[in-house]
Amino acid sequence: MSVRRVLTLWSEGQINEEDTRILRASSIEKPLPYDTETVEAIRALWDTFLERDDSVGLAAPQIGINLRIIAVRTRNFDDRDPSKRRLDSEILVNPRITQTRGDLVRMEEGCLSCPGVRVEINRFDEIKLRAFDDESGRKINKRYTGFVARIIQHEIDHLDGKLIVDYEGTIYAEKKYHDFLNRYFEKR
């Protein structure tokens, strides 16, 4: 098992410079067939994602891997049984949104890489996605709606170096983060 630490923009009132550099980089697509590096990255993402019960999505850059790979929970979001978590989740390699539909829906989002913060973000309620699966590299063309579409859009943002704090929506933060975040946003 290769569980990795989740990178964060800040911790204990300080910017994590190295984590920020990695989180802000655009990720690289890997061609098929999967090479050893890609297989190991998929395993590390699975292991880290499945180990956590506080996440519905995780992107490879969040664990320090600069590849276009995401893990998403697609159903049974409230079920905390770790043995079922893998069955309720997918790994998507080189995901690309090919179509968006419906109205933009505004919701609060949190992020493991931006601890203590939630931001109101508009996202499409329906997307079509092209990707490869984690096992065989089989091509996937699939439609996602509602909350799952939101999770995927959030995780794809990570692949492009974009985080929830980059959006213009209202920011909600735990009180202990207020002073730090005021300084953080003043510098931007």
pLDDT tens readout for residues 15-33: 999 999 999 999 999 999 9
Mean pLDDT of the region 167-180: 87
What's the pTM? 0.94
Q: Supply the range of the domain harboring residue 119.
A: 10-186
Structure tokens given for 9: 């923009």
Looking at the predicted structure, is the pLDDT value of residue 83 above 80?
A: no
Half-sphere exposure of 127 (CA within 13 A, CB side): 21
How many angstroms separate the CA atoms of 171 and 101, rounded? 26
Residue 48 lies in a domain: yes
Provide the residue count of the chain: 188
Residue 52 lies in a domain: yes
Residue 129 lies in a domain: yes
Residue 58 lies in a domain: yes
Looking at the predicted structure, is the pLDDT value of residue 139 above 70?
A: yes
Tracing tokens 């499409």 back to the chain, one arrives at 124
Sign of CA dihedral 56, 64, 153, 109: positive
pLDDT in tens, 39-69: 999 999 999 999 998 899 999 999 999 999 9
Greatest Cα pair distance in the chain: 48
Mean predicted lDDT score pLDDT of the chain: 93
Domain containing residue 60: CATH number: 3.90.45.10
Catalytic site positions: 155
Reported confidence tier of residue 165, pLDDT bands at 50, 70, 90? very high
Between 173 and 63, the more confident residue is 63
Residue 51 lies in a domain: yes
Between 131 and 185, the more confident residue is 131
Residue 4 lies in a domain: no
Please count the structural domains in the chain: 1
Looking at the predicted structure, is the pLDDT value of residue 188 above 70?
A: no
Residue 75 lies in a domain: yes
How many angstroms separate the CA atoms of 118 and 8, rounded? 14
Under the phi-then-psi rule, with left for phi > 0, alpha for psi from -120 to 50, and beta for the rest, what region is 64? left
Q: What pLDDT is stored for residue 91 in this prediction?
A: 96
Q: Are 104 and 113 in contact (CB under 8 A)?
A: no
Q: What pLDDT is stored for residue 115 in this prediction?
A: 94
How many angstroms separate the CA atoms of 100 and 124, rounded? 6
Reported confidence tier of residue 156, pLDDT bands at 50, 70, 90? very high
